[in-house]
Chain A
Amino acid sequence: MLVYDSKLWRHVNEMCREFRVIGIKIMMNKTVLLLLLAGLLSACASTRVFKDQSPKNIEVIIEKDEGSVFNAKEASVEVWKLEADCKTTLLGEVDTESSKFKIGLQPGQLAYINFRFFSSGLFSSDNSMTYGSLITPKKGYNYLFKASYVEGIYNLEIFEKKAGRKSRQIETRHYSECGSS
């Protein structure tokens, strides 16, 4: 398991994303290209993809600006596991190809779901915005995370629901609140 964090991890993620999105223009020396490809592939292989820890009990809905050719808007979701001493372990990054998906988190396990919205443009500076919430899923409950970043305003709402009951909104809890309750 990888333990948080390093700028390297973020850079590797960004490189992998760019690799996936843009591809590589074959305009360089073949040896350099092969080395670059090998490096990128090995780095991308180490990107941890989140695997469900239990039956799917958390639905995530993401709303974001559309972006444009000149200013790409992307979102990523990471799931972290927290120990009793608040030490974090990255469980993985969730594929956000779709703006609506479900994941399974083990009931009783404290986790942090981190949303990252980032933009990069030809004529503007790169910008990334991260926020998230701690969650300890309860057995028999389902959760809905609604995360948005629209026109510079971000929001995260969490709803908890038990079968046959009405859902209720619960407070988001910042990572720094780990250990305080």
Chain B
Amino acid sequence: MRVVVGLGLLFVLLASGGCSMKQPQSAQEFRQMLPGSMFGKQETVTVDRSYSKVIDTFRKRAGKCLNVVVQRDVVNRYGQVVNTTNITYTPTLNVGKSRAELYLQQLPEGSATFVVGEMPEKGFYFFVADAIHAGKNKTRLDLYYSSYGADTLSRAVKNWAKGDNLGCPDLTQG
């Protein structure tokens, strides 16, 4: 994936950190800190699909769709690339008997990288989805994300949970 942007990366980083110097160092910290951040968004939806089927889809799609590197180029007014940042996304899926968490981290590298606060080893926490068994054919999803940068991702994950569209999110999109 390749995208040419100006200050997009800076905004994404600020959004994920809520402009504070303290960055979440775990998925749990992300859940706790997000409500107070500038673009933080929390959403709960329930889908008519069994927990095991939802997890099965997460397992298949997360590995295929979320292990990506996005290249962001900063261009000058003549269209020449003056800076490049590669953002490596790393998904993690932890599955329990009746509860699972899927989270995504973003690791920016390159000369145009502007990092606010301490970055966790695999990158900033960017998105967390909790899937919770809520009945025979019901699964509750609790989503935590930044409305700037992760809207498309949240739509894709909700689609996966419903099982009706297994497309991948373009992580260059907000």
Which A residues are within 8 Å of any B CB, using their own CB? 125-131, 148-155, 172
Contact = CB atoms under 8 A, between A and B. Distances in A.
A166 B5 CA distance: 45
A152 B170 contact: yes
Contacts of A131: 168
Nearest to A174: B64
Interface residues on B, range: 20 to 34
Contact of B169 (A128, A130, A153): A153
Interface stretch (B113-121, B134-142, B152-160): B152-160
Given A127-B4, A153-B152, 9 more contacts: A130-B1, A131-B168, A151-B155, A152-B152, A153-B156, A153-B167, A153-B170, A154-B170, A155-B166
Interface in B126-174: 152, 155-156, 159, 165-170, 172-173
Contacts of B1: 128-130
A130 B2 contact: yes
Contacts of A129: 1-2, 170, 172
Contacts of A126: 3-4
A149 B1 CA distance: 13
20 contacts: A125-B3, A125-B5, A125-B6, A127-B3, A128-B1, A129-B1, A129-B170, A130-B1, A151-B152, A151-B155, A152-B173, A153-B152, A153-B155, A153-B165, A153-B169, A154-B170, A155-B166, A155-B167, A155-B168, A172-B64
A164 B64 CA distance: 32
B8 interface: yes
Interface string B45-73: 00000000000000000001000000000
A131 B170 CA distance: 11
A31 B168 CA distance: 48
Contact of B165 (A128, A149, A155, A172): A155
Contacts, number: 48
Interface string B77-94: 000000000000000000
A82 B160 CA distance: 32
Nearest to A117: B170
Nearest to A125: B5
Nearest to A127: B3
A125 B2 contact: no
A153 B168 CA distance: 5
A125 B8 contact: yes
Nearest to B65: A154
A78 to B, nearest CB: 14
Interface in B1-30: 1-6, 8
A127 B172 contact: yes
Contacts of B3: 125-128
Contacts of A155: 165-168
B56 to A, nearest CB: 15
Contacts of A128: 1-3
A72 B117 CA distance: 37
When A and B form their complex, which 7 residue pairs have the shortest distance between CB atoms, in order from nearest? A155-B167, A152-B152, A152-B173, A153-B167, A126-B4, A125-B5, A127-B3
Contacts of B152: 151-153
Nearest to A7: B81
B12 to A, nearest CB: 13
